[in-house]
Structure 1
Amino acid sequence: MVRRLLRDDQYERIAQLLPGRAGSRGRPAADNREFVEAVLWIARTGSLWRDLPEEFGYWNSIYKRFARWSKAGIWHVVFAALAGDADFEEVFIDSTIVRAHQHAAGAPKKKGDQALGRSRGGLSTKIHALVDGLGMLAKFSLTGGQAGDSPAALPLLGELRPGSVAADKAYDTDALIAHLHTIEAQAVIPSRASRREQRPLDEHMYRSRNLVERFFARIKQFRRIATRYDKLSERFSAFVALTAAFIWLV
């Protein structure tokens, strides 16, 4: 028997967010839980869809359903609902590189940018993450692996007004520092050596930046996140949203 990941109480927290629930439009989906378990199995093991255990159902039907839900943004809806519990008094921003398998390349150009690029380690994707004071993912975005870290910071912050923002010195840019000053948030970011005036740094708060590193270590226990196999960023982003939602449930 395949090991399952969701307890009854965990599934109940997301059941009303899924298509096919009682009272929603469309056909009822009595097997939503089995389907979510199947996608979690793929995310955890990193296996090919064809290798999905038969007890979950026919692999191609599950794959097509996953693709439909990804296009409709269902996984992001579930993640956003759970991430609504985030505590934004302190936030931490960083990025991590995900190596892309050779099968991840080759998406049709008409599909647009797929957040793939060539960095020093080869073909890769970068996950930019904003975690809260408990190290839980609140927001994320994807870029090609060659992209810089700092340009993703302001879009991640958006309308948030945290008490402090911690990041490494790669985020020490005039635009970000000015924004944090405007929203009266403490910048826990080391100054670049080239800055004429070095800002004071709260070393105690900066040490807590390891929370975002610990989150990356945790989410990469899901092998479908540790290595990117999906050609479309839409699909890979869906896996990130699903696994982050699962971490919120644990």
Structure 2
Amino acid sequence: MIVTISKIFRPFCIKDLLPGREGYVGGTAADNRLFVEAVLYRYCAGIPWRDLPPRFGDWKNVHRRLRRWCESGVIERIFRHLAADHDNEYMMIDSTIVRAHQHSAGAPEKGGADQAIGRSRGGLTTKIHAICDALGNPVELDITPGQDADITQAEPLLEKIDPDAFLADKAYDADRLIDRLTERGITPVIPPKRNRTTQRKTDFALYRERNLIEQFFNKLKQFRAIATRYDKLKSTFLAAVQFASIIILLN
């Protein structure tokens, strides 16, 4: 497993963005690569933190360090650095549901903090929202409780991008979103719902490219601890999704 991970993780691509690097203010970390491989191993295998192999060091220290990186935004900065080099020809949005393990519930509610876990007939779920570019690479990510409608995150995520065309399925067919896209000069490629009085024309040749975001979700769910959520905190799980996306972008 270590050999496989070493081939996946390319430290020369992101080493200048990691805390603890040589010349960085503060202590110098000699084990940045080992730490990243430990986190990657855990999310690939989907094991509890306490089952992390001893060769990675004390699991408590690994988890504590990951939480520090989450709180200081290290993982998000790396993701945004890699995602900044995106293709603006067209982008697409979609979401996917992941089951939340019972161990992910029960985080203390500090100030009514929402941990993005929904309760429904199917159990505990979290929804991952993503925007991908014309190459199928992730550009924007967010998570919400599983019962939230897909369209709730469309406008917030859309504010951060500026593609020529925007692809989405019928779940995103809403006048407010269509009008917002039109105002910004972005071509909506969203099939109209059947109950629309006036059916809007759609470029279905371009719409077929939406399979790229489905391929991204398929790659994302190869990480067992992403396909099933075990993390209690929203910030930790969102960082995990960003971390897995970094690995996808590096490949």
TM-score scaled by length of structure 2: 0.96
The C-alpha deviation readout for 1:24-77, integer Å capped at 9, x for no partner, is 111001100110010000111111111111111111111111111111111111
The C-alpha deviation readout for 1:94-114, integer Å capped at 9, x for no partner, is 000010000111111116000
Deviation at 1:121, TM superposition (A): 2.3
Q: Which runs of 5+ in 2 are unaligned?
A: none
* AA partner of residue 158 (structure 1): E
After alignment, is 3-12 or 140-149 more displaced? 3-12
* AA partner of residue 92 (structure 1): M
Which residue in the other structure is 1:138 paired with? 139
Which residue in the other structure is 2:63 paired with? 63
Which residue in the other structure is 1:151 paired with? 152
8 Å contact from structure 2 (residues 127, 145) kept in 1: yes
Alignment of 1:111-122 (within 5 A): 112-122=113-123
- Aligned pair 1:93/2:93, yes or no? yes
Deviation at 1:5, TM superposition (A): 1.5
Supply the distance in 2 between the matched residues of 1:159 and 1:51 (Cα, whole angstroms): 39
Which residue in the other structure is 1:54 paired with? 54
8 Å contact from structure 1 (residues 79, 241) kept in 2: yes
Supply the distance in 2 between the matched residues of 1:85 and 1:7 (Cα, whole angstroms): 22
Instruction: Tell me the secondary structure at the aligned position of residue 6 of structure 1.
Output: helix
* AA partner of residue 165 (structure 1): F
8 Å contact from structure 1 (residues 4, 37) kept in 2: no
Deviation at 1:241, TM superposition (A): 0.6
Q: Tell me which stretches of 4 or more aligned residues in structure 1 moved more than 3 Å.
A: 1-4, 6-9
8 Å contact from structure 2 (residues 130, 138) kept in 1: yes
Distance 1:123 1:171, change over 3 A: same
Distance 1:106 1:8, change over 3 A: closer
Distance 1:154 1:6, change over 3 A: farther
Supply the distance in 2 between the matched residues of 1:13 and 1:5 (Cα, whole angstroms): 15
Instruction: Tell me the secondary structure at the aligned position of residue 209 of structure 1.
Output: helix
- Aligned pair 1:43/2:43, yes or no? yes
Instruction: Tell me the secondary structure at the aligned position of residue 206 of structure 1.
Output: helix
* AA partner of residue 35 (structure 1): F
* AA partner of residue 87 (structure 1): D
Instruction: Tell me the secondary structure at the aligned position of residue 16 of structure 1.
Output: helix
Supply the distance in 1 between the matched residues of 2:117 and 2:54 (Cα, whole angstroms): 32
* AA partner of residue 102 (structure 1): Q
User: How many residue pairs end up in the alignment?
Assistant: 250
Identical amino acids, percent of aligned pairs: 50
The C-alpha deviation readout for 1:154-179, integer Å capped at 9, x for no partner, is 11111422111110001001111001
TM-align CA RMSD? 1.4
Supply the distance in 2 between the matched residues of 1:122 and 1:92 (Cα, whole angstroms): 29
Deviation at 1:8, TM superposition (A): 8.9
Deviation at 1:9, TM superposition (A): 8.0
Q: Which runs of 5+ in 1 are unaligned?
A: none
Which residue in the other structure is 1:236 paired with? 237
- Aligned pair 1:209/2:210, yes or no? yes
